[in-house]
Structure 1
Amino acid sequence: MDRELEDLINGIGPRLRHIRQERGLTLEALATATGLSVSTLSRLESGKRRPTLDLLIPLARTHRLALDHLIGAPPTGDPRAHLTPHRTAPRTRNASVIVPLTTYPARLQAFKQILGPTPGPHDLVAHPGHAWFYVLSGTVRLRLGPTERLLSPGDTADFDTTEPHWFGPATPTPAEVLHLYGPHGDRPRHPPTNDQPPP
């Protein structure tokens, strides 16, 4: 084992103790939350028990930390997010481009959507979920049930998507919005592909 890897492994125990104490947790409370025994946690923190995935994963879940952050692993690879836009077909009700801005799984996800002008009429849609977006540029027309609103840069929309709705640019100029989707199924839907229109 090389020295760098050995130092990393030896540092995991003290790091786990620091994280637990920083959160104000006793060994007993952490044992209850993770399903690990107090003695196992104590031996992990003191370096007497080798950290393995079956021990670290419950700790990562309980502390809500990515595994590499939990153990203090050095950064690897290219930290830049390589963005892959998804373009909807012009025939859809809201021809647009979706750009994922985050790549980390199971966390809050951010998407930029460029809304292209489309000819009316625009059918209202409804589906399970919740929508939240922030207008970056342009003017967005939001139809929500019987009401209609114009949103300018800096305005936000926050609504239940079971209510019939439609949104798009209010002028011939494209509009840009920022979407935030949660990790537990509370997003309107997945980013659209070429044959899947946005909400």
Structure 2
Amino acid sequence: MTDLDDQAVADAVGRRLRTIRTQRRITLAELEQRTGVSMSTWSRLESGQRRATIELLLPLAREYGVTLDELVGAPETGDPRVHIKPVVRHGTTYIPLTRRAGGLQAFKVIFPPRREPVAERLMTHEGYEWLYVLSGRLRLTLGERTIVMEPGEAAEFDTRVPHSLGADGPGAVEVISLFGRQGERAHLRARST
């Protein structure tokens, strides 16, 4: 690495540290009080005028409750595992199975049991979706048509068509969903033996 590369990395780390601190609404004075490191040291670190050292990063990681990698925005190390962070929206759990935003996305989706009939809210958006039912009974509404899908069944559809998804009955439903905003279609090929 050249001196210019080193400075660019120091600047990027400093910007990241400032962003993390301001998101937590902590002032430099409060950080000095909590860590015992001077306010001017933190200011120079955030502005890229001082290099990050392990002695400075460890108290920050402890204070912010993050790993050192998260603190400095370290690149992926080639670990192929996807670190799952489920998101729950309106009772439905979405578990991302791919790492990057954009392009084709894969999710495991868990729909809660349907306790009583509810008015379905149809939605539309850009993209194309492919789904596969793992367990339970999935109710898929596409426009005026409603289909109940069983485990082992798959469907694909243009998400510009008004649609809704949910459990059909008292049990939860688990689905694998592939979604592409660009309207990509899933292409399945079976090899003959």
Q: TM-score, normalised by structure 2?
A: 0.49
Q: TM-score, normalised by structure 1?
A: 0.48
